[in-house]
Amino acid sequence: MSALRWLGAAAGVGVLAALYLGLVAAPRDAVQGEVSRILYLHVPSVLTAYLAFAVVFVFSIAYLKTRSFRWDAVARSSAELGVIFTGITIVSGSIWGKPTWGAWWTWDARLTSVSILFVIYVGYLMLRGFADDEASGARYAAVLGIIGALDIPVIHMAVVWWRTLHQPATLLGAGPSKMAPEMKAIVLANIAIMWLLYAYLLAVRVRLEGVRRAVLEMKLQRGRR
């Protein structure tokens, strides 16, 4: 079995374990009750989105320096996954917000900045699709990918800089975490599992991007003959 298949198998087992940990093993929250179990999806998904866009940031810079489509393939693939995980974050947050805040959505500073991040990277993908050629699309998208990642610190600090409905950072706050040790352990485990899933999906997507580029090169060579 190839390394990629082993990684996929590990990610699949991890997802099942995460579901068990979040839905069964995790203790019931004394204040929010069962609805708090969305925490075990919401927090890992947003941190995975952060990771994905951090990868876009790094590999976009690498592409602009080297013009290597290998780095662009990683940035493009990670941007697609980042959009997916940001979408999961927004949906899970809305599901959590309805019983907690009494509304599916509010233009809270944290929620607004996350939605801006989502729109930026949807625009990133659209830019790739409408570009006249691969090189210009990769170049413009790299610039947008770098700029978009700068929104991540704003998202994280929104609950500090402005008055918001959203609770302070659960794990990455300035002070010690107030989360119960059992709950914190499960959140950390689910973050690790989701990052493993991200790594597998990224590897698969980069491979597919390589195939796509190879097919495109073949078509271009045939057109020159």
Output the pTM of the full model.
0.90
How does 138-174 read in b/e, with b if 16+ C-beta sit within 10 Å? bbebbebbbebbebbebbbebbeeeebebeebeeeee
Asked whether the beta carbons of 210 and 73 are under 8 A apart, the reply is: yes
Average pLDDT of the residues in 198-212: 94
CA-based nearest residue to 111, from 85, 95, 83, 90: 90
Cα distance between residue 149 and residue 84, in whole Å: 15
Q: How confident is the model at residue 177 (pLDDT cuts 50, 70, 90)?
A: low
Cα distance between residue 176 and residue 137, in whole Å: 44
Q: Which domains does the chain have, with CATH numbers?
A: 3-224 (1.20.120)
**DSSP letter string, 154-203:** HHHHHHHHS--SSPPPSSSSSS---S-HHHHHHHHHHHHHHHHHHHHHHH
How does pLDDT run across 30-73, given as a tens digit for each residue? 777 788 889 999 999 999 999 999 999 999 999 999 999 999 99
Cα distance between residue 111 and residue 191, in whole Å: 21
